[in-house]
Amino acid sequence: MGTLLTLKNVHKKYDKKEILKGIDLEVQEGEIISVLGPSGCGKSTLLNIIAGIQDLTEGEVEIAGKVVSSRQKCVDIEQRNINMVFQDFALWPHMKARDNILYGLKMKKTDQAEMEKRLEQVVGLLHLEGLLDQYPAELSGGQQQRVAIARAIIMKPSIILLDEPLCNLDVQLRIEMRTEMAQLFHSLHTTVFHVTHDPSEAFAMADRIIVMNHGKIDQIATPNDCYLKPQTATVAGLLGAGNSLQRGSYIPETDLVQYGNQTLQAMTFFKETTKREVVLKFRPEEGALLQEYEDNCIPVAVILSSFEGGQYRVKVATELGEEVCVLYTGFLESGWKGYLKVDGEKLYAYQED
């Protein structure tokens, strides 16, 4: 397995606004990469630069060892052996599914027998039997998605780019399609560069996740590592650790944080500095509410319980007046007093610049 795609110090500016601030990345052949980040952080811009649809301001993009984008040049998408699947599928409305799928091969004047052979393969892979004579408007969202993917893979590109490929599908179909797509691309050994703002889509599809924030990469790791060890407070927030306690104070040369009168064990994600203030982050499902004091607890009082089906989301306030949410099996009255416990490896501590 060699490196197929390399990004070196990629910058992009629109007017004076810097959208990408130095992206470095290597993608291996056959790897599925998911770029995850909030809306507006520059994901589509990065994908379009890889496609050659947009130029870059500084840096380089290499595919299979050849520079395809730099300040001096921008090789056309047709010359990059890349294919894209768009968010809105972008099927030709006046063409039947068959003609949509074969469009690229026809443009390349592929011979008829080869086209038939490849069509048969993608129809089988994507379960399109019986749909080839339908127009896009006669297909469901999920079927259109399959046609769009078939149209891309029939070209046998070395890289497939997917920009939020599932966001126009309903929830159930999204969950099915993301697993199916990952299986399909792995079986074809296709290299995939996928961008999404949906963590569960990235978790389900990616071999490695790139977490982007404000035009920079915050973390590159396997889905499991990103989930268990989010390197920055932003990554933690994006991956479900929405609770923040701002008033922690780091105890030097330990993995302990002082919060009010309590000492808490935490995962620390910073280099030792003279600064003491830390922000603690954790997921609502990692917090337990207890009546009796235990290790790694802080006193809290309930503000509000709301039913979520099967469990309650309980908002509590700490003694320092900060509010967080935890999931709990029962209803707790406002004013209920007890303790909030988060295990040390689930409590993340960050120092913010």
* Site for Mg ion, rule CB under 5 A: 44
C-alpha to C-alpha distance for 258 and 322, rounded to whole angstroms: 15
- We find the least distance from the C-beta atom of residue 238 to ligand ADP, in angstroms, to be 12
Residue 14 found at the interface with ligand ADP (CB under 6 A): yes
**Both tokens of residue 27?**
């993608």
- We find the least distance from the C-beta atom of residue 44 to Mg ion, in angstroms, to be 3
CA dihedral over 226, 229, 234, 238, signed as positive or negative: positive
C-alpha to C-alpha distance for 209 and 32, rounded to whole angstroms: 9
Greatest Cα pair distance in the chain? 77
DSSP state of 287: -
CA dihedral over 90, 94, 99, 105, signed as positive or negative: negative
Euclidean distance between the first and final Cα of the chain, in Å? 38
Angle at 288 between CA 313 and CA 262, to 5 degrees: 120
Residue 43 found at the interface with ligand ADP (CB under 6 A): yes
| Minimum CB distance to ligand ADP smaller for 19 or for 150 | 19
Residue 40 found at the interface with ligand ADP (CB under 6 A): yes
Exactly one of 37, 199, 248, 338 binds ligand ADP (CB under 6 A); that residue is 37
Residue 42 found at the interface with ligand ADP (CB under 6 A): yes
Sheet strand arrangement including 256-259? 262-265, 256-259, 243-251, 277-282, 348-350, 267-268
Exactly one of 27, 32, 41, 181 binds ligand ADP (CB under 6 A); that residue is 41
Query: Which residues lie below 8 Å from residue 140, measured CB to CB, with a gap of 6+?
Result: none
- We find the least distance from the C-beta atom of residue 215 to ligand ADP, in angstroms, to be 8
- We find the least distance from the C-beta atom of residue 282 to ligand ADP, in angstroms, to be 26
Paired with 25 in beta bridges are 7
- We find the least distance from the C-beta atom of residue 216 to ligand ADP, in angstroms, to be 12
Residue 165 found at the interface with ligand ADP (CB under 6 A): no
C-alpha to C-alpha distance for 113 and 141, rounded to whole angstroms: 30
Residue 219 interface partner, choices ligand ADP, Mg ion, none, CB cut-off 5-8 Å depending on type? none
Residue 202 found at the interface with ligand ADP (CB under 6 A): no
CA dihedral over 145, 146, 149, 151, signed as positive or negative: negative
| Minimum CB distance to ligand ADP smaller for 49 or for 63 | 49
Q: What are phi and psi of 34, to 5 degrees?
A: -115, 125
| Minimum CB distance to ligand ADP smaller for 37 or for 59 | 37
In the stretch 267-306, what mask flags binding to ligand ADP with x, by CB under 6 A? ----------------------------------------
Residue 199 found at the interface with ligand ADP (CB under 6 A): no
Using CB atoms, what's the residue nearest to Mg ion?
A: 44
Residue 234 found at the interface with ligand ADP (CB under 6 A): no
Q: How many binding residues for ligand ADP (CB under 6 A)?
A: 10
Report the interface residues with ligand ADP, using CB under 6 A: 14, 19, 37, 39-45
